[in-house]
Structure 1
Amino acid sequence: MRLNENTVIFGDRVILVPYRAEHVPTYHEWMKSPELLELTASEPLSYEEELEMQRKWHLDDDKLTFILLAQPETSTSTSTSNILEPSEIKECKMVGDVNLFLPDGITGQGECEIMIASKEDRRKGYAIEALSLFLSYLTITLPFDPSQLIARIGSPNKPSIRLFQKLGFGIIKHVKVFDEVELNYGVEDDKEIPSEIGLDVDINKKVDWINRSLEGRLGKYD
């Protein structure tokens, strides 16, 4: 989707930038991992196929994606602590991606996905901040009704399920043939499914991304 082709979103831990051809070499290396292929329900692609996929994510109206970069621990920027210069952004480490798939356009459901590629970059708060920024951006910019947001996650991937629960998504379906659960924003968990998949976690503190302002966090990505 061209909507974000020149947009950068600055978080405290992550920076969201549009997925461009310059990111494909690293992304292609990531997706050689059997673990990531399984977690993302993806098929291995050749480098040329990955380039074509990047072009599709850029151009197709039913796809919106950002690459996640890690904010450096220190910055030489003369602006604010989390706003970087273009040259600084290009030096930041790629850590994952976040995207929305709209098979029926903005009037239908939108499926959210996030990936933190390396185990060493997980549990650092990247995913929850990136999703909060991303969901705020798409509901403000498209605009998109939050109640249409869904996520489909493999049942064994408990950390990802908990992440979406913290963001206000409730488990509504267990598709046993694919061993995955479906979550929908703004609804309560089906009472039987969490215990059915062995998810014995009570999410008490949720992240209020719906009221999060992006003022001072948006920039232009050259």
Structure 2
Amino acid sequence: MRLNENTVIFGERVILVPYRAEHVPTYHEWMKSPELLELTASEPLSYEEELEMQRKWHLDEDKLTFILLAQPESRSSKILSLGELQKCKMIGDVNLFLPDGKEGQGECEIMIASKEDRRKGYAVEALSLFLSYLTRNLPLDPSNLIARIGSTNQPSIKLFQKLGFGLVKYVKVFDEVEMNYGVEDDQEILSELNLPKSDQSKIDWKGIELNGKISQYD
């Protein structure tokens, strides 16, 4: 999406940058993983197809994507220069899909590619910044935010629960659950799938202040 083509969002541990052609080689290597293909419900693409997909996502108004970078441990400032950003480790991506436009539902998804980068707090910070950005800059009504997750992917379900999403539907044909922001978990779904109840402590991502955290990637 053109909206974020030059936008960088700086967190304490993670940085969100626009998906550019320079990121395609690493992304293409990630998506050779059968695990990631399954988790993201994706089909394997050739390098040329991946590059064309990046160009398409840059222009499409129904998709918004950021690549996730890890903040370097040794840095003089949280806000990095372009040269410094290009040396940062890529760790995943975060996406929004708007099949019915900005007035309809927005489906969110996040991927942390390597197992060694998971359970480090990257995903929760990245999604918190991402959701705050979406609801301020599209703007997108928070009640229209949804996520669709494989029913056995408990870490992702717990992540979205922590961010205030509740289970509202189980789609058996795809073996996935649908979650909606601001809605309580459907107890029958929790019981049927033997999923954990949501922790009462939620992250107030709507209260995140983005001033001083946004810069330009150019």
Q: Give the TM-score of the pair, scaled to structure 1.
A: 0.97
1:101 and 2:94 are equivalent in the alignment: no
Q: Secondary structure at the match of 2:107?
A: strand
Give the residue type in structure 2 aligned to 1:125: G
> Deviation at 1:143?
0.7
Distance 1:65 1:200 in 2: 30
Give the residue type in structure 1 aligned to 2:43: E
Instruction: Return structure 1 stretches of 4+ with deviation > 3 angstroms.
Output: none
Unaligned runs of 5+ residues in structure 1 are none
Give the residue type in structure 2 aligned to 1:179: D
Measured at CA, do residues 10 and 129 of structure 1 come closer, stay the same or move farther in structure 2, by a change above 3 Å? same
Give the residue type in structure 2 aligned to 1:51: L
The superposition leaves residues 80-101 of structure 1 with CA deviations (integer Å, 9 ceiling, x where unpaired) of: 3x11122111100000000100
> Deviation at 1:196?
1.2
> Deviation at 1:20?
0.4
Identity %: 78
> Deviation at 1:200?
2.3
Distance 2:196 2:4 in 1: 38
Distance 2:99 2:130 in 1: 18
The match for 1:88 is 84
Paired residue total: 218
The match for 1:135 is 131
Contact 2:161–2:198 (CA under 8 A) maintained in structure 1:
no
Distance 2:217 2:174 in 1: 38
Q: Secondary structure at the match of 2:191?
A: helix
Distance 2:200 2:43 in 1: 36
Q: Secondary structure at the match of 1:114?
A: strand
1:177 and 2:176 are equivalent in the alignment: no
Unaligned runs of 5+ residues in structure 2 are none
The superposition leaves residues 127-158 of structure 1 with CA deviations (integer Å, 9 ceiling, x where unpaired) of: 00000000000110011100000000000100
The superposition leaves residues 140-179 of structure 1 with CA deviations (integer Å, 9 ceiling, x where unpaired) of: 0011100000000000100000000000000000001111
Distance 1:143 1:21 in 2: 27
The match for 1:113 is 109
Q: Give the TM-score of the pair, scaled to structure 2.
A: 0.98
